[in-house]
Amino acid sequence: MQPLLSIVVLVYNTAEYLPACFDSLLGQSYRNVEIIAIDDSSTDDSLAICRRYEQQYANFRCVNKPNGGGAIAGNLGISLACGEYVALVDSDDLVTKDGYGLLMAEAIASDADIVVGRAAKLVDGQMSAVGFLYEPSVWSKRRRLGSVHEFAGLMHDGFYWNKVFRLSFLRANRLGMVPGLLYADRQFVHKAYYQSRCTAIITDLVYLWRTRKAGATTSITQNTSQIANFQDRIRSVEIEWHDFDDIPAADAYRRLIAVSNLQRALQMVQAIVPSPSFRAVYVEAIQGLLRLFGDLDYRALGVRRVLYLELIRRGEIAGLCHLVALPFHGNIVEHDGHVYWQQPFYDNPEVMLGPEVSRIDFPTIGFFRVGGWYLDDAHLELELQLHAAIMAHCQVDFVLQADDGVDEILLVPTGRGTAGRYVYRAQLAPLRSGTLYGLVMSYRSAVGDGQYRLGGPLLCQQAATDLPLTTDSGHQLLYAPEAGGVALRTY
């Protein structure tokens, strides 16, 4: 008999999507499941739909509770679960047919406390990775980790819904979500990662996260500019920091999480320009985080975000608004072997910012471009346009990563090109027919490592215009939303 998996579905006003969600769970190839739908006092037909499924399926039960938020609903579901493992699902999303079978197979094989699978967005019925930032780097390779310290990138996946958790592990460590917190998943998941003695990652697609229509009022994560939601995010960040107050061995881990949380908060900086009320809340919150985090090294966030943080720290809010509102330009100046962003506050005696705040230590969006494709039946070439002084301080690589994580193809520097233009080339013979290979650029530098999936502002104009490119043998270089950028496919 397969171990029982308890699937807890958090339900609130999602009647339009509930049948598809429930059907995806009941249609799993992994059959030994119980489904617990926790309805948080929905005001639409959600509860009636849950009751209908409860009457129809013996392994489905519905619990209706007073409205209190998803965190309380999730904790209740975990407390009611009977399985060896438990999964959490948002009620407007879908799980792939083999999703839980794949996660449970790895859980059994590795005796894991947590198993993580790959997710994709569901946008108007189509799969997409656009909008994911660093999460795909977590899902790109199969791994088994005895500690979070073995793979720092793990903390980028703070979702609860693309995973299974050993139920006894959650209960033994008293792991759950903070009641009343809207953005409760990251705090819960990051704490679980730290306590886990075996976290496994599989590269298979297991979960489809639905992007709701613009204007939908019940989707929390798609209304991030609202003041109350932003304040809830900040509260979550503060709780995460204090979770590790008395654990000295976790200091490096919580600092990584803190930098990641600042990066997420800075995605909303544009909203301070048109809204004075949001601006006041935003500035106060970020200043509070900077005081809380102390001597955190922010340089891995890149020059633009480092400058925004420094202006916020100093209280130069008029200057911040001016800088944020300006059309971005990638003007740079070279000095003593380094490159600096030549923005209005560079070498400005009125503000007196040190030059290190404007230094570009690695490829940062807006300061490099990729393009100049060449594709034939046997080779792919591209050109990286990056200032030579930046290149001198870092290592840049390109790779074609199979979407199933089975293999990857490295593009190697050819030595051709002029100063500031670097040509990379790959042999295409190992390509598997029908597999999508996403094109990824990675860098290593003294202040941090990172990667980009190539799309949008990372491409020069001609490079974007030239796509798609197709060869006689069926290789196609194209922009693929499911890869989150440029990808190669063989038909």
What are the structural domain ranges in the chain? 5-210, 223-360, 368-490
Q: In 3D, which of 133, 448, 451 has the Cα closest to residue 264?
A: 133
Q: What is the structure's pLDDT at 1?
A: 66
User: Rounded to whole angstroms, how far apart are CA atoms 56 and 243?
Assistant: 43
Q: What is the DSSP string of 289-333?
A: HHHHH-S---GGG-HHHHHHHHHHHHT-HHHHHHHHHSPP---EE
Of 108-122, 253-267, 334-348, give the lowest mean pLDDT range.
334-348
Q: Is residue 81 over pLDDT 60?
A: yes
Tell me whether residue 198 is exposed, middle or buried, using C-beta atoms within 10 angstroms of its C-beta: 0 to 12, 13 to 18, 19 or more: middle
Got the DSSP string for 254-290?
Answer: HHHHHHHHHHHHHTTGGGGTT-HHHHHHHHHHHHHHH
State the average pLDDT for the chain: 94
Q: What is the pLDDT of residue 217?
A: 44
CA-based end-to-end distance of the chain: 40
Report pLDDT digits (tens) over 365-402. 999 999 889 999 999 999 999 999 999 999 999 999 99
In this predicted structure, what is the pLDDT of residue 225?
A: 52
pLDDT in tens, 207-258: 999 987 654 444 444 445 589 999 999 999 999 999 999 999 999 999 999 9
Shortest CA distance to 104 belongs to which of 56, 36, 159, 33? 33
pLDDT confidence of residue 193: 98
Rg (CA), the chain: 24
Strand-pairing partners, residue 402, are 437
Task: Yes or no: say if 420 and 389 are a contact pair by the CB < 8 Å rule.
Answer: no
Q: What is the pTM of this model?
A: 0.93
Nearest to 412 by CA among 425, 422, 393: 425
Contact between residue 442 and residue 451 where contact means Cβ atoms under 8 Å apart: yes
pLDDT band (50, 70, 90) for residue 429:
confident
Query: In whole angstroms, what separates CA 271 from the centre of its chain?
Result: 21
Banded pLDDT at 491 (limits 50, 70, 90): confident
Spatial contact of 221 and 92, defined as CB atoms under 8 Å apart: no
Report the CATH superfamily, name and number, of domain 5-210: Spore Coat Polysaccharide Biosynthesis Protein SpsA; Chain A (3.90.550.10)
Model confidence over 329-344: pLDDT tens digits? 889 999 989 999 999 9
CB-based contacts of 430: which residues, under 8 Å, 6+ apart? 407, 409
Just give the CATH number of 368-490.
2.60.40
pLDDT at residue number 232? 94
